[in-house]
A = this chain, B = another copy of it.
């Protein structure tokens, strides 16, 4: 009997059929992440259950991960497509400054938003062109533009933080709609768009082909160069969105504070979520779970008031433990 028939028939007769189907739908890796997340929730829940499970705290977690969430998703797309965007934190710094300056100059929040998104897109375009047509390795290229974008942000702002006094704009950072913070809405909407894009759209599927096997992509008539540039523009626009949210949250634009190191966190979340740096592998759901794990960790450690130096220890260990548990779970399934 052929093995595949065997496998097919097995699914139907398998007593654990429903479970198996769930696993297939979510993917083993995501299930493992859920398990890891559950363990963290149990730990912090049992230590500070009173506060931890309060709706207010859960929203805090959501607010805390919005910006990282957006970047982890866009980074996932970049990594799936076989690239890497290390300049993303610097792009956030640049766009947050330009958003603040645009609002300061015009008083119009809309102008700020446009400025942020357009500058982000331009920054992405620059990355895309250097990588695709300059044939520079993505790591080197975006490390280079990271310095360049940061430099530009400093020069634009002269190193000062730029205050935003528009209440309308600040509403993005603190407002609520139907009881949920606007930031959380934005995260949810972005997530749906990103998920549909990567998992369901033709372009998204082609990105998997591009990252998974560029030879196939080339022979299938996918315009590899245009895709690459497009992916980096997307990453830049997402960084622009993140920059706008950062400006709205802090009420100011600052070249470094709040954006430095975001690239590493975004890459961590994406890899935690199942991305392989070789490309061709990764999902939006995974990235979000990765972000959630990081968010719960940060929140739980503040709640349980772990001393600073031990927080580092705990954070590192829990990160690794989460993955080891996930791996263990994965090998058993």
Chain A residues packing against B (C-beta within 8 Å): 130, 134-137, 139-141, 143-152, 154-155, 159, 264, 267-268, 271-272, 277-278, 308-317, 319-320, 323-324, 327, 331
B312 touches A139 (CB 8 A): no
A-B contact pairs, 10 of them (CB 8 A): A134-B320, A139-B268, A139-B271, A141-B323, A143-B268, A147-B319, A151-B313, A151-B314, A152-B313, A159-B309
- In the complex, what's the smallest C-beta–C-beta distance from A217 to chain B, in angstroms? 17
**Complex Cα–Cα for A97 and B4 (A):** 58
**Complex Cα–Cα for A19 and B302 (A):** 63
Q: Which 5 A-B pairs have the closest CB atoms?
A: A147-B316, A151-B312, A151-B313, A148-B316, A144-B320
B324 touches A134 (CB 8 A): yes
- In the complex, what's the smallest C-beta–C-beta distance from A277 to chain B, in angstroms? 6
**Complex Cα–Cα for A146 and B315 (A):** 10
- In the complex, what's the smallest C-beta–C-beta distance from A193 to chain B, in angstroms? 27
Find chain B residues with CB under 8 A from A140 CB. 268, 271-272, 319-320, 323
Minimal Cβ-Cβ distance residue in B for A159: B309
Using A140-B271, A271-B140 as known contacts, say yes or no to A312 and B135 having CB atoms under 8 A apart: no
B264 touches A310 (CB 8 A): no
Minimal Cβ-Cβ distance residue in B for A310: B151
Find chain B residues with CB under 8 A from A277 CB. 139, 277
A310 touches B155 (CB 8 A): yes
- In the complex, what's the smallest C-beta–C-beta distance from A261 to chain B, in angstroms? 10
**Complex Cα–Cα for A317 and B308 (A):** 37
Find chain B residues with CB under 8 A from A149 CB. 316
Using A136-B323, A264-B143, A323-B137 as known contacts, say yes or no to A317 and B271 having CB atoms under 8 A apart: no
Using A139-B277, A323-B137 as known contacts, say yes or no to A147 and B264 having CB atoms under 8 A apart: no
B268 touches A316 (CB 8 A): no
B312 touches A147 (CB 8 A): yes
